[in-house]
Structure 1
Amino acid sequence: MKDITVIICTYNRADILGDCLQSLVEQTCEPSHFEVLIVDNNSTDGTSQVAEHYTNQYPHFRWVREELQGLSHARNRGYNEATTPWVSYVDDDAKAHSNYVERALWTTRNFDFDCFGGTYYAWYKYGKPAWLPKNYGTKALDRRTVGITKDGYASGGVIIFKKSVLETLGGFPTHLGMKGNKISYGEETYLQVQMRKQGYTIGFDPELKIDHLVAKYKLKLWWHIQSQFRQGVISWETFDYSLENKKLTHMAKKAFFTLRDGIKLHTSQLLRPNYNWQHWIMDVVNPFAKDLGRLWGAYKLKRKH
């Protein structure tokens, strides 16, 4: 019996999916210990041909098609199809380091985690604009050794669960997360919030590594503003925050002060030689967009309840 299933949920990324799957072909771990499951979430490009190319060549690769649109639906289909005690989710626009599976299995055998995450590094396939922050696209929790993380959350692009935990909790919440081309987030964080509430252990292994694509659309300022707004909107549900005693007028004032203080702090920096209007947008407009998103999300929830 294999030990772990690496699940790749994919939607219309035939142009990059091959890089992801090839990285899993080139693992140092013997194929007898793991399987790769590709979950095609209604792609309309050449995704199925790419998936078939790999499943026809490698017996430990297989693929299924999930008709319900949404990343959470695809992730839930993945763990339900898995035949192993552990499941790993790797984004379809990422490349696993060559020892990814070997390291994942080492961690499962040496630590009593119910879920754990790893590190991802920016993969600038299409170049990097000067206005993007220096470490944009690279993320690691603030610890250098393997251990329990009590505050942070593992990224959904490089995360591993006991399959039994996902079964017990009912998997990922399908009202959160990406749906087709609609920007949304939060499903893996919400799941970890619920795990902590029920006493499960979340860990982190800095040596579990992937390279994550900084896609072309992330090289556009408008996408960053939209992304921040959407993160604000879903933050209430993602972190299971209570709206009790939260006044919309107070939140509106906070958004105003965020914008006002950002303008005061950063406008003078436009005179610096290496600081331009794109930097100003990232520093001033993005935090304001996130606060507006929180306000809009709170308003929607108050109306709903």
Structure 2
Amino acid sequence: MAASPRRITAAICTYERYDLLPGAITSALSQSLPTDAFEVIVVDNSPDPVRSGQEAAAFARFPNLSWYHEAKPGLSNARNVAARHAASPIIAYLDDDARADPVWLENIAGCFDQFGEALKVVGGRIRPWWGAPRPAWLADEMLGAITVVDLGPERRLLREGEWVAGANIAFRIDALRDAGWFDTSLGRTGGGASLLSSEETALTDRIKAQGGLVAYDPLGAVEHWVDPERLTQRWFRRRSAWQAVSDYLRDPKGRLAQREESWLAVKAFLLHQNPADRTLRGLALEQPEAEDFRWQSAAVYNAVTALLAGLDERDDL
């Protein structure tokens, strides 16, 4: 008898994260679905193919796991490579520093089944896996910057303004293809020097524009590592600045239209500071209160947006 077709593919794209990667792979292999119903694909973007091969050898005994070393850098490219190798109609992406619940794939696949062919994208709950205590200045409203997603206990279609994140997102592969795959001009490349993002948001927007539906499944859940290096205000300010760049690349006309609004928001924040800090310095000072830090992070975002959109000289007195 011919082998039954794979129902879903779990894809893990990685770059020199050999410390955390085995945990992600083990969680993806330890799913509640029958082994012949799913596969796991690892796309390793790390620069050393010999080391990649050594790491792959530890998982060679698993018949439903494939490991590919991809020399061309970039997370978006690696995700496209994984999709093109997939032997199933659905691909679910898991970050290399995340751990999937045992029923992750079962629920993601079940969500696609429930809503039918019109459903093209499913995102799941992402719980934080804290590498250090959560700082007092980190408000709930800012948890999205470290990829925490919780839209409630109900499996449902997304509402206007809601989003799901790439650390736990699944697509019908035909929808990926029809929407032009992941945009390789967006997304992370190499280590943490660049925080360019929004590649999955841009792709999801294109799929929705073609009539595809997007859903959220709380039981298709993962835990996502929060590195202690990210639990600093400096990192969050960098994250805000890079998000502004990502959003500008994704929607330049929209950001141009917000140039004046963005500058007014920056000015309001700076005027609230001590006179000596009403400069670029005011956007970099540590903020002891959560609400003040939220405001500063928004000001950083708006400052970068205004400059990218061509803010010019004016009299602001």
- Aligned: 1:162 with 2:167: no
Q: Mean alpha-carbon deviation: is it higher for 99-108 or for 224-233? A: 99-108
Aligned residue for 1:5, secondary structure, equals strand
- Aligned: 1:4 with 2:14: no
Q: Check the 8 A contact 1:120/1:212 in 2, yes or no.
A: yes
- Aligned: 1:68 with 2:72: yes
State the partner residue of 2:149.
140
Q: CA RMSD in A?
A: 2.7
CA distance 1:130–1:85, change in 2 (3 Å): same
| CA displacement at 1:285 relative to structure 2 | 2.4
- Aligned: 1:293 with 2:299: no
Within 5 A, what are the aligned runs for 1:234-245? 234-239=246-251, 241-242=253-254
| CA displacement at 1:127 relative to structure 2 | 3.9
- Aligned: 1:227 with 2:261: no
Within 5 A, what are the aligned runs for 1:95-106? 95-106=99-110
Question: 1:110-142: CA deviations, max 9, x gaps?
Answer: 222111111000001344344333583573354
Q: Check the 8 A contact 1:39/1:77 in 2, yes or no.
A: yes
CA distance 1:60–1:236, change in 2 (3 Å): same
Stretches of structure 2 that go unaligned for 5 or more consecutive residues are: 275-285, 312-317
Stretches of structure 1 that go unaligned for 5 or more consecutive residues are: 264-274, 301-305
Q: Check the 8 A contact 1:114/1:202 in 2, yes or no.
A: yes
Q: Check the 8 A contact 1:233/1:295 in 2, yes or no.
A: no
Q: Mean alpha-carbon deviation: is it higher for 5-14 or for 128-137? A: 128-137
User: So what's the TM-score if we normalise by structure 2?
Assistant: 0.82
State the partner residue of 2:134.
128
Q: 2:72 is aligned with what amino acid? A: L
Q: 1:289 is aligned with what amino acid? A: V
Q: Check the 8 A contact 1:258/1:288 in 2, yes or no.
A: yes
State the partner residue of 1:209.
221
Q: Check the 8 A contact 2:166/2:200 in 1, yes or no.
A: yes
Distance in 2, Cα, partners of 1:276 & 1:192: 35
Aligned residue for 2:216, secondary structure, equals strand
User: So what's the TM-score if we normalise by structure 1?
Assistant: 0.85
Percent identity reads: 25
| CA displacement at 1:63 relative to structure 2 | 0.8
Q: 1:197 is aligned with what amino acid? A: A
Question: 1:81-121: CA deviations, max 9, x gaps?
Answer: 11110001011110000111111222222222111111000
Runs of 4+ residues deviating >6 angstroms: none
- Aligned: 1:174 with 2:184: yes
| CA displacement at 1:254 relative to structure 2 | 2.8
State the partner residue of 1:40.
44
Q: Check the 8 A contact 1:37/1:61 in 2, yes or no.
A: yes
State the partner residue of 1:90.
94
CA distance 1:28–1:247, change in 2 (3 Å): closer
